[in-house]
Structure 1
Amino acid sequence: MRSLQYQSQASDTLTANQQLSGNQKLISRDGNFALGFFQPAGSNDKWYIGIWYNKIPTQTIVWVANRGKSVSDPVSSNLIISGDGNLVLLANHSKSPIWSTNIKKNIANSSTKVVLHNSGNLIVTHDSTNSTVLWQSFDDFTDTWLPGSKLSRNKKTGVIKRMVSWKDRGDPAPGLFSIQLDPDGSPQYILQWNSSIVYWATGNWSGNAYTGVPELSPTNMYPNSGYTFQFVDNHVETYFMYTVKNDAQTFTRAILDVSGLFQTLVWTNASQAWTTFFTQPKPKCSVYGVCGENSKCTENDASSCSCLKGFTEKYPENWKLDDHTAGCRRNVPLKCGNNSSMKTKQDRFYVINSVKLPDDAQKIDAANVRACELTCLKNCSCIAYSYNGTCWF
């Protein structure tokens, strides 16, 4: 029987005869990054394995392993190298992993080690040689794009790496918003809602920057700060990558926020806070479905989402964590369909100004605004209308 050793002090390496549990951590050699169990704010009894900035007072998570399945007790849970050489997470004394690196090549665990690098990249390698990468967290994005990682499209396999937002501020489970290279083949990155609707794109690479993101060019982003940008489009893969010189002493990250906004942030030592360098799309209310159904987005408000008159938040606790995507529910059911003779006397419309028609709005024949209203009232699937010479449902 093989005995396991617990990490007695922080190291950057986990070997086959060691395990990580409780408050034990891996710390990169330069001390910038740490890996261990963490608990998001507001998530009682939910723990995750993640990587965060070790030298920043406010814990900032850059990668999560078991983002879809938490553990309730980090002390009885273990991160270990399994018999087939995979890095796995065992929860609450269980022998069945709830998360694994899923390395397909079967290798002896005695020849495997896990190293947290100075870049924030967690790498599984052969113990005999560091050059053979079996798995790395830079290929398994969550919501953060770190310097040196490639959000790529492999032209031979067709695999497109993508970054997916957290569900809300306290839940790292995959949310509704994602960013990836255009699956149609163009070398631009697209933001999507629910993996289906594109609501923003970077534009194509101009040779120096993306046409829709001039802020992210070497000349505009903190001149002389040590940033380097690289765009590659060859017969094997397409990707964009940014790096920061080791002597720049700058922490920077690109994230896909729970609000669906793509942002670049830089840590400012003077204020001890993250400074947002750029945000897309602009305006923020152009993020598709960010406020959910029966709600409105107001551009300049601190809390951009609010329920329409006559509606309340469907899941109030989610709203407190900035997840508005479930939208709002009606306080009083409509009479439509229950008693058609009473419908036109009781169901009425509330006027809302300065709103955008949905992309799937239907055009209906109506001579005037009153005819448009009556046509909508007769159709129980119609809950709102707009008239500007043409009637839209």
Structure 2
Amino acid sequence: MFILFLFSLLLSQHYCAEVYNITSSQPLAQGQTLVSPGRIFELGFFSPSNNSENNKYVGIWHKNIYPQKVVWVANREKPIAAADTLASLTISSNGNLELIDGIQSTVWSTNISVPSNTSAAMLLDSGNFVVKVNIEAADQLWESFDYPSDTLLPSMLLGFDSKSGKRNVLTAWKSESDPSTGMFLVGLTPQVPSQVVIWMNGSTPYWRTGPWDKSKFLGVPMMDDEYQSGYFLHDNEQQGTKYFSYNILDKTVACMDITSEGILKLMDSVNGENWNLHWAAQKNSCDKYGACGPFGVCTASESPTPICKCLKGFVPKSDEEWSEGNRTGGCVPKSVTLRGKGDGFSKMVGLKVPDFHEYITSSDAEECKIQCLNNCSCLAYAYVNAEFSFLSHAVCITNSFCQMKEIE
């Protein structure tokens, strides 16, 4: 009987370590975790790299997939001291969700207007951490999906609202042991068609996907090449919103994240137990933005130094820089004399569409070609047949001299 009693007591303690909502009367203490209804996601206190000597944070991770990948962090800029065992996550007297330390000081808060202190916080099976007016309410007052960390989960939105100025971006951790904001940021550009860009230090382009073709980004060949691939670009001109999202159609668990080294990865878990790498950006030295400069072509190799060459009719801008291994200055046109043959095009395959482009509608590739010839600023065109989307790209620097800014 004693053994049975002890067994039931242990079960009871284990059950108490998991809760399904946070209220003013039921805070989340260290040693407890908030679990989504289907036991897919879990929220709790953690130390990066599982080092008990590190500072502590509140984060979300998949409950049963290893290695553990933290997909959202609440207090990434304000850690809790490793020795503080009394910190907790609770609903405050003003109805906000707050992280308080051992001396009852607020470390992090949702900082919203809440009608009463009857509000409750819960974790959904999507991985979205939400605050509602009460446990039974349908609408959310606040949700973590509006404040991404370094990870984009299925149904999360990456993009912007041009009217309000709000942007949903991913920001890398500073390092594997420090979830504070690092040097890499991932966002969606407002141009048409849009592309996803990794910026370094907030503004310097580091990598880009190439333009969207209605089913995938042209510069990411690892993406599925089917219209029903699970990738979506939601563009609402009237509302001024543009967002990228994805959903894995075969119900595979997935997450897309930016590492502290600036690599964008999509990982999935078919068996729901282990992570597999589906695709990753920055596969080689040519993936870096502008590796060979304007009018330069980069050939992929395993070497850390990109293999560059100039387009036909162009020469290195600086022979000295190229001989020293610096090719970022790119190429310039050769001095040539036209012999009455007029303008023409040289066909190139396997290249990422240049960064600066103009979106036009054409019936076929020949019309696209004619429109480019009739435009003094057009240097090249790319015809993309994907749900009737077409691309023509060029940049005019002045009325008399036009230059393609970037080709990778």
Instruction: Return the TM-score normalized by structure 2.
Output: 0.64
Question: Contact conserved, 2:256 with 2:265, CA < 8 A, in 1?
Answer: yes
Question: What residue in structure 2 maps to residue 77 of structure 1?
Answer: 87
1:8 aligns with 2:16: yes
Secondary structure, counterpart of 1:244 in structure 2:
coil
Question: Within 2, Cα distance between the matches of 1:65 and 1:284?
Answer: 34
Letter in 2 for 1:281: Q
Please tell me the root mean square deviation across aligned C-alpha atoms, in Å: 3.1
Say which structure, 1 or 2, has more relative contact order (CA 8 Å, 6+ apart).
2
Q: Deviations over 1:155-180 (max 9, x none)?
A: 22121111001111111111000101
Secondary structure, counterpart of 2:145 in structure 1:
helix
CA positional deviation for 1:199: 1.7
Alpha-carbon spacing, 1:100–1:184, altered in 2? closer, same or farther (3 Å): farther
Question: Within 1, Cα distance between the matches of 2:327 and 2:103?
Answer: 51
1:261 aligns with 2:269: no
Alpha-carbon spacing, 1:119–1:42, altered in 2? closer, same or farther (3 Å): closer
Percent identity of equivalent pairs: 31
Q: Deviations over 1:49-71 (max 9, x none)?
A: 00011112422111111111211
Question: Contact conserved, 1:267 with 1:274, CA < 8 A, in 2?
Answer: yes
Work out the number of aligned pairs and report it: 288
Question: What residue in structure 2 maps to residue 123 of structure 1?
Answer: 130
CA positional deviation for 1:275: 1.9
Alpha-carbon spacing, 1:186–1:207, altered in 2? closer, same or farther (3 Å): closer
Q: Give the alignment partner of residue 152 of structure 1, picking from 159, 166, 181.
A: 159
Question: Contact conserved, 1:32 with 1:54, CA < 8 A, in 2?
Answer: yes
CA positional deviation for 1:233: 0.5
Instruction: Return the TM-score normalized by structure 1.
Output: 0.66
Q: Give the alignment partner of residue 246 of structure 2, picking from 225, 242, 254.
A: 242
Letter in 1 for 2:261: S
1:40 aligns with 2:52: no
Q: Deviations over 1:251-308 (max 9, x none)?
A: 21101011101111112549x64221111134257557xxxxxxxxxx858xx89xxx
Q: Give the alignment partner of residue 203 of structure 2, picking from 196, 210, 218.
A: 196
Q: Give the alignment partner of residue 181 of structure 2, picking from 174, 181, 199.
A: 174
Secondary structure, counterpart of 2:217 in structure 1:
coil
Q: Deviations over 1:286-336 (max 9, x none)?
A: 557xxxxxxxxxx858xx89xxxxxxxxxxxxxxxxxxxxxxxxxxxxxxx
Question: What residue in structure 2 maps to residue 283 of structure 1?
Answer: 284
Question: Within 1, Cα distance between the matches of 2:166 and 2:329?
Answer: 29
Letter in 2 for 1:40: P
Question: What residue in structure 1 maps to residue 353 of structure 2?
Answer: none
Alpha-carbon spacing, 1:82–1:287, altered in 2? closer, same or farther (3 Å): farther
Question: Contact conserved, 2:281 with 2:287, CA < 8 A, in 1?
Answer: no
Secondary structure, counterpart of 1:138 in structure 2:
helix
Report matched runs for 1:311-390 at 5 Å.
355-356=325-326
CA positional deviation for 1:45: 3.4
Alpha-carbon spacing, 1:68–1:8, altered in 2? closer, same or farther (3 Å): same
Question: Contact conserved, 2:128 with 2:143, CA < 8 A, in 1?
Answer: yes
Question: Contact conserved, 2:172 with 2:260, CA < 8 A, in 1?
Answer: yes
Question: Contact conserved, 2:161 with 2:242, CA < 8 A, in 1?
Answer: yes
Question: What residue in structure 2 maps to residue 313 of structure 1?
Answer: none
Question: What residue in structure 2 maps to residue 65 of structure 1?
Answer: 74
CA positional deviation for 1:207: 1.5
Question: Contact conserved, 2:114 with 2:141, CA < 8 A, in 1?
Answer: no
Q: In structure 2, list runs of 5 or more residues that go unmatched.
A: 1-14, 290-300, 306-321, 331-408
Question: Within 1, Cα distance between the matches of 2:160 and 2:59?
Answer: 25
Letter in 1 for 2:104: K
Alpha-carbon spacing, 1:158–1:185, altered in 2? closer, same or farther (3 Å): farther
Question: Within 1, Cα distance between the matches of 2:190 and 2:215?
Answer: 22
Q: In structure 1, list runs of 5 or more residues that go unmatched.
A: 1-6, 289-298, 306-351, 361-393
Q: Deviations over 1:66-85 (max 9, x none)?
A: 11121124531010111222
